[in-house]
Amino acid sequence: MFNDLSSPAALLATRRSGKPRDMAAPGPSPDQMTRILDAAIRVPDHGKFAPWRLVIFEGEGRNRAGEALAAIQKYRRPDLDEASLNIERRQFLPAPLTIGVIFSPRPNTKAPELEQLLSAGNVCFNLSHAAFALGFAASWTNRWYGWDPEAQTALGARGGERFVGFIHIGTPTAVIEDRERPALEDVVTRF
Ligand SMILES: Cc1cc2nc3c(=O)[nH]c(=O)nc-3n(C[C@H](O)[C@H](O)[C@H](O)COP(=O)(O)O)c2cc1C
C-alpha cells in the first residue's frame, strides 16, 4: 500500500497524488464521504465567511458532466471527431468520485481576495489529504474546464465564481510512485 497511515506524521511525509486513470470503484462510502468533506472545510479562513463551496460529481452525474463538456467542444468545433468527444465524455469517469472546489469570493470584507483564494486552495489540498488518510488515491487537476468560463458555468459555477480544483478520488489500482521533490536547501533560507 502506498499510504503510510502509521501516524499523522507518516501520512504527511508520504502523501502523493495518484493518476485518475489508476483509480477505480469503490469510492468513499457515505460515512467516509462525510469525513472527507468535514476535514476538507476545516481550513484557515481569514474572514470566516467560507469563500468556497464544493460540488460532488459521482454516479450518473459524472456522465452528465462529461456530456456537458463534450457539447461545449462540439459547439465550438463541429468537425471534432467522436474519439475527441469521447475524451471529454470520460473526463469524470475514471475516478468514482470527483469533488470540485469553487472559489466564491466575497467583496469588501476584511480579507483580501488573495487570502480568500488561498483558503479555497487549502480546501482542495485538505480533500487530497483526507482521501489519502482513508486509503484512497486522490488527484487535484484543473484541465481546460478548470479555466474555461463556459465549462465552469456548465459544471455549477455561478456569476463571480470559478472552480479552483477538481479532486478525483478512488481506490488505487496501482502502486503510486512518488515524484521527485525539491531539495530543502533549494527552497528554504534562513532570515
Ligand atoms: C492548481 C493545480 C492544478 C493542477 N492541474 C492539473 C491538471 O490539470 N492535470 C494534471 O495532470 N495535473 C495537474 N496538477 C498536478 C497534479 O495535482 C499532480 O498530480 C501533482 O502535482 C503531483 O504531485 P503530488 O504527488 O505532490 O500531489 C495540478 C496541480 C495543482 C496544484
Residue 5: its pLDDT value, please? 74
Average pLDDT over residues 61-85: 97
Ligand 1 close to Cβ of residue 116 (< 6 A): no
Banded model confidence at residue 1, pLDDT cuts 50, 70, 90: low
Residue nearest to atom 18 of ligand 1 (CA): 17
Strands 162-172 vs 23-24: parallel, antiparallel or unpaired = antiparallel
Distance 166 CA to ligand 1 centre (A): 10
Residue 107: its pLDDT value, please? 87
Count of other CB atoms within 10 angstroms of residue 106: 14
Instruction: Give dist(CA 178, CA 171) in Å, integer.
Output: 17
Distance 15 CA to ligand 1 centre (A): 13
Look at the block and give the residue holding cell 460540488.
55
Residue 172: pLDDT above 60? yes
Residue 129: pLDDT above 90? yes
Residue nearest to atom 22 of ligand 1 (CA): 17
For 131-148, how does the pLDDT look when each residue is reduced to its tens digit (9 = 90+)? Answer: 999 999 999 999 999 999
How confident is the prediction for the chain on average, in pLDDT? 95
Residue 2: its pLDDT value, please? 64
Ligand 1 close to Cβ of residue 142 (< 6 A): yes
Residue 169: its pLDDT value, please? 98
Residue 7: its pLDDT value, please? 87
Average pLDDT over residues 108-124: 93
14-28, 42-56, 105-119, 159-173: least confidently modelled range:
105-119
Predicted TM-score (pTM) of the model is 0.96
Residue 42: pLDDT above 60? yes
